[in-house]
């Protein structure tokens, strides 16, 4: 799965960006004046800490898992009302979190002196545009809806969306999903005209896929009767009866979203459209605390219905609609283009030039970023290692045991109950949000019993389970690439690996002049990879032996957990690198226009030529599965972990 940045150097709770009170601004200025702390590289790093950003507290394992709608609504209310505590207690908790060195991130490739800056002070300071497999960068620049030659019930009028009452919609949804025992739903026609009946017919068929309608007279009144044309078969093949043959089955569109991750966005769209999330497809998941622009495809939903959502949803915009005959597939993209603002920078013009030239010419170490490993004292790679060791009691213990670190209060209580009773039923009662990994595992233990942990763990969605073993692979790779650079520096050496097509081969002594460090790859451990023929190949074996794993046998008794390896470049050199330094006085104003700003014709504030603050605006393109925070780390020469960023602020907190 493609990964795009989630970590934030700025630890501000996301909220309306234009809703900052004067008191908060005064506080912010004081923080900036007092929070300069020298790090190991000799430069200061400034961060802003109010309430911690919720996106930073959410371990990847706790992401949205589609579940029953009433439970989702309950969970959302709980999450919205949950308070994460004051900054000081958060800083104290994060003392137990991970630093970069804990996960093998220890080296830099550039020689410039680092400087400080604030990353993601506003989520609009971090903008991601997807790059398709054809090299085209996705932009939202058109709200128009394509017109078909054929007109059918899938192209509803505006009245369609309002003609049904909320009660009617609830009954129809239960009928559509086969949740009630009734064979049909009757809707009385209050204004009995042919036009009104047509609109109701149209509304039912458009909003509730798989349902058919007919008109009946009952006791002198007219009713629209909704029913399943073919039960579950009709639901599985929505709109087959009315979709024009000349139209592609998939509506492709550009999704512009603010401060939402991709899966959350898909869940919201599916709720409003009253369809299942699995009819959507996309090429890669995108960051939460950012503005992101990406292509989405959806099966047999018209552009008109999608465009209507622009009037209903906040923080989303849909546009650039087209009909095609194919869905989208994960990984079918060239990468992502980033536009990033680092605010309140302290570097001199010369330092900035050196840093950005190095990024463009040399690049950065292709580490897996901190978000790959979680935020608490139990890193995700430890759970992955226990899975690979087939140590299921430890897997259960690592997921459920109490741990120091930043967590929501109900998770803390659940863990305490588990430690005290080892009773999944009583621990589950302490956990109102049950779609998290802990809740899923406890449900599994209730269902299958404490002696069948493997089946209980299997209740957790597959992608979440595999995330743990991929985290272990990432942990090994980070450590090995640091050793490789320490041992051999930034040059290709005999015994290194390069890719020829999809095959990895060793560099021989006689061919060494044909390659540079940018050609070298390192393996993620698995059952179908080869390892370098030098000291690092032995280091891989030693690391896995220390973890009680056999590098020559990475096949697991359970097929899902068998690690197929892969290869990853040591150094990534970003493309399309550009930068400029701008001045500003007001930290609340945007420093560059978004796609939506341009579409809506919003003028940007005029920036002063000699403002109180300076910001570095940087642009670059990266291939899939690379981390923009690791590129920014190379520019600033700073630890990007939440633990480090939080502790830098303890001076002003105490």
**Residues 6 or more apart whose Cβ sits within 8 Å of residue 377:** 96, 97, 403, 404, 405
DSSP assignment letter at 38: B
Of all helices (H) and strands (E), which one includes residue 228?
strand 221-228
In sign, the C-alpha dihedral spanning 509, 515, 518, 521 is: negative
Cα distance between residue 346 and residue 35, in whole Å: 13
CA-based nearest residue to 290, from 42, 120, 134, 486: 120
Using CA atoms, how far apart are residues 555 and 366, in angstroms rounded to an integer?
A: 26
SS3 of 510, please? Answer: helix
Q: Would residue 217 show up in a list of annotated catalytic residues for this protein?
A: no
Tokens matching residue 60: 């990847």
Residues 6+ apart with CB under 8 A from 78: 410, 432, 433
Alpha-carbon span 383 to 394, nearest angstrom: 8
User: What is the enclosing helix (H) or strand (E) of 336?
Assistant: strand 333-343
Structure tokens at 455: 């089946």
Paired strand residues for 520: 498
* Length of the chain in terms of residues written: 654
Left if phi > 0, otherwise alpha if psi is -120 to 50, otherwise beta: which for 625? left
Per DSSP, what are the bridge partners of residue 572? 364
Per-residue buried b or exposed e for 474-501, using 16+ beta carbons within 10 Å of the residue's own CB? bbbbbbbbbbbbeebebebbebbbbeee
Give me the helices (H) in 450-579, please: 453-457, 462-488, 535-546
Residue 377, φ and ψ in degrees, nearest 5:
-75, -5
Containing 203, the helix (H) or strand (E) segment is helix 194-207
In three-state form (DSSP H/G/I as H, E/B as E, the rest C), the secondary structure along 570-637 is CEECCEEEEEEEEEECCCCCCCCCCHHHHHCCCCCCCCCCCCCEEEEEEEEEECCCCCHHHHHHHHHC
Q: Give the HSE-up count for residue 65: Cα atoms under 13 Å, Cβ half-sphere.
A: 19
For residue 521, the SS3 value is: strand
Burial class (CB within 10 angstroms; exposed 0-12, middle 13-18, buried 19+) of 454: middle
Single out the catalytic residue among 84, 125, 287, 595.
Answer: 287
SS3 297: strand
Coil, helix or strand for 130? strand
**Which are the contacts of 462, defined by CB distance < 8 A and separation ≥ 6?**
560
* Residues classed as catalytic: 287
């Amino acid at each position: 799965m493609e990964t795009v940045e989630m970590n934030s150097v700025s630890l501000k709770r996301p909220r309306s960006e234009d809703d900052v009170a004067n008191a908060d601004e005064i506080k912010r200025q004081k923080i900036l004046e007092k929070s300069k702390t020298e790090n190991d590289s000799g430069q200061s790093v400034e961060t802003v800490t109010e309430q911690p950003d919720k996106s930073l507290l959410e371990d990847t394992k706790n992401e949205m898992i589609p579940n029953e709608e009433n439970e989702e609504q309950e969970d959302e209310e709980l999450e919205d009302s949950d308070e994460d505590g004051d900054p000081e207690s958060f800083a104290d908790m994060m003392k137990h979190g991970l630093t970069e060195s804990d996960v093998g991130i220890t080296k830099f490739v550039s020689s410039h002196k680092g400087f400080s800056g604030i990353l993601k002070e506003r989520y609009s300071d971090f903008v991601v545009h997807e790059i398709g497999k054809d090299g085209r960068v996705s932009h939202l620049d058109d709200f128009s809806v394509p017109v078909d030659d054929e007109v059918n019930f899938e192209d509803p009028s505006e009245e369609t969306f309002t003609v049904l009452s909320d009660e009617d919609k609830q009954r129809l949804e239960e009928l559509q999903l086969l949740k009630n025992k009734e064979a049909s739903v009757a809707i009385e026609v209050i204004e009995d005209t042919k036009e009104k009946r047509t609109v109701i017919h149209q509304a039912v068929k458009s909003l509730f896929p798989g349902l058919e309608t007919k008109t009946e007279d009952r006791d002198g009144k007219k009713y629209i009767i909704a029913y399943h044309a073919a039960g579950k078969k009709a639901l599985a093949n929505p709109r087959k009866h009315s979709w024009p043959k000349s139209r592609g089955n998939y509506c492709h569109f550009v999704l512009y979203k603010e401060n939402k991750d991709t899966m959350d966005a898909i869940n919201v769209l599916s709720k409003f459209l009253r369809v299942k999330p699995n009819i959507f497809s996309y090429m890669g998941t995108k960051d939460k605390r950012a503005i992101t622009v990406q292509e989405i495809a959806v099966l047999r939903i018209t552009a008109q219905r999608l465009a209507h959502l622009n009037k209903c949803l906040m923080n989303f915009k849909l546009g650039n609609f087209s009909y095609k005959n194919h869905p989208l597939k994960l990984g079918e993209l060239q990468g992502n283009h980033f536009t990033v603002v680092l605010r309140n920078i302290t570097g001199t013009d010369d330092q900035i030039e050196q840093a950005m030239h190095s990024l463009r010419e040399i690049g950065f170490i292709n580490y897996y970023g901190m978000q790959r490993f979680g935020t608490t004292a139990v890193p995700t790679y430890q759970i992955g290692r226990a899975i690979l060791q087939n140590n299921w009691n430890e897997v259960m213990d690592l997921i459920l045991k109490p741990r120091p670190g930043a967590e929501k209060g109900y998770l803390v209580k659940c863990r305490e109950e588990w430690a005290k009773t080892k009773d999944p039923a009583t621990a589950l009662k302490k956990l109102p949000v049950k779609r998290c990994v802990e809740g899923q595992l406890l449900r599994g233990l209730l269902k299958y019993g404490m002696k069948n942990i493997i089946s209980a763990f299997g209740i957790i969605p597959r992608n979440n389970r595999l995330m743990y073993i991929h985290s272990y692979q990432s942990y090994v790779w980070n450590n090995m690439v640091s050793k490789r650079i320490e041992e051999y520096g930034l040059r290709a050496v005999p015994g290194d690996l390069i890719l020829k097509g999809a095959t990895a081969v060793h560099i021989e002594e006689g061919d060494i002049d044909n390659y540079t460090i940018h050609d070298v790859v390192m393996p993620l451990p698995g059952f179908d990879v080869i390892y370098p023929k030098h000291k690092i190949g032995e280091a891989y074996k030693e690391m896995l032996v220390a973890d009680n794993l056999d590098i020559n046998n990475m096949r697991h008794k359970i097929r899902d957990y068998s690690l197929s390896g892969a290869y990853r470049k040591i150094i990534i050199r970003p493309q399309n690198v550009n930068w400029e330094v701008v001045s500003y006085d007001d930290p609340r104003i945007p420093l560059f226009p978004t796609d939506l700003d341009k579409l809506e014709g919003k003028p940007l504030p005029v920036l002063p030529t000699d403002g109180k603050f300076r910001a570095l605006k940087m642009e670059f393109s990266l291939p899939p599965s690379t981390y923009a925070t690791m590129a920014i780390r190379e520019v600033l020469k700073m630890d990007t972990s939440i633990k480090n960023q939080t502790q830098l602020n303890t001076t002003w907190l105490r």
